[in-house]
């Protein structure tokens, strides 16, 4: 399926920094509760992220992530997930985070 450039521009992908990570035992699949800071324009948002296979909580703290910030919030067990942290599936179906090389970018920078 192809989409137009206008369709792509509707997806608000932004750079954020992980500022808190907690276990999420009530999630159906292994996941963390993750808080991401997107700077002043977007603020701090939370996400339920199934990224426990490749990452510990300590690995994630301070890490820069690329997130979809304009999805409607989703209730996951007793937690409201507000953003989608992006990544790629490895050969075994586990998520490897998408990332950026240059950390000099301001939080909340939109993907071009």
37-91 residue pLDDT tens:
999 999 999 999 999 999 999 999 999 999 999 999 999 999 999 999 999 999 9
**Which residues span the domain enclosing 67?**
17-97
| 68 within a domain of the structure (yes/no) | yes
Residue 52 lies inside a defined structural domain of this protein? yes
Domain assignment of residue 6, yes or no: no
Predicted TM-score of the model (pTM) = 0.94
Q: Are 19 and 44 in contact (CB under 8 A)?
A: yes
CATH code where residue 45 lies: 2.40.50.140
- With H, G, I as helix, E, B as strand and everything else as coil, classify residue 112: coil
Instruction: Count up the domains in the chain and report the number.
Output: 1
Whether 65 maps to a domain, the answer reads yes
Identify whether 109 is part of a domain: no
Distances (CA, A) of 61 to 16, 36, 44, 104, 106: 12, 10, 14, 17, 17
Asked if residue 111 is part of any domain, the answer here is no
Residue 46 lies in a domain: yes
Question: What percent of the chain is predicted at pLDDT more than 90?
Answer: 92
> For residue 66, is it within any domain?
yes
pLDDT higher for 101 or 62? 62
Residue partners of 9: CB distance under 8 A and separation at least 6: none
Read off the DSSP letter of residue 62: T
């Amino acid at each position: 399926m192809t989409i137009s450039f206008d369709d792509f521009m509707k997806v608000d992908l932004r750079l954020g920094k992980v500022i808190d990570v907690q276990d999420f035992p009530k999630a159906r699949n292994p996941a963390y509760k993750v808080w991401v800071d997107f700077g002043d324009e977007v603020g701090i948002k939370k996400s339920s992220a199934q990224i426990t296979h490749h990452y510990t909580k300590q690995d994630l703290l301070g890490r820069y992530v690329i997130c979809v910030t304009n999805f409607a919030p989703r209730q996951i067990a007793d937690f409201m997930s507000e953003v989608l942290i992006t990544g790629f599936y490895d050969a075994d179906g586990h998520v490897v985070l998408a990332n950026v090389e240059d950390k000099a970018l301001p939080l909340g920078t939109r993907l071009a």
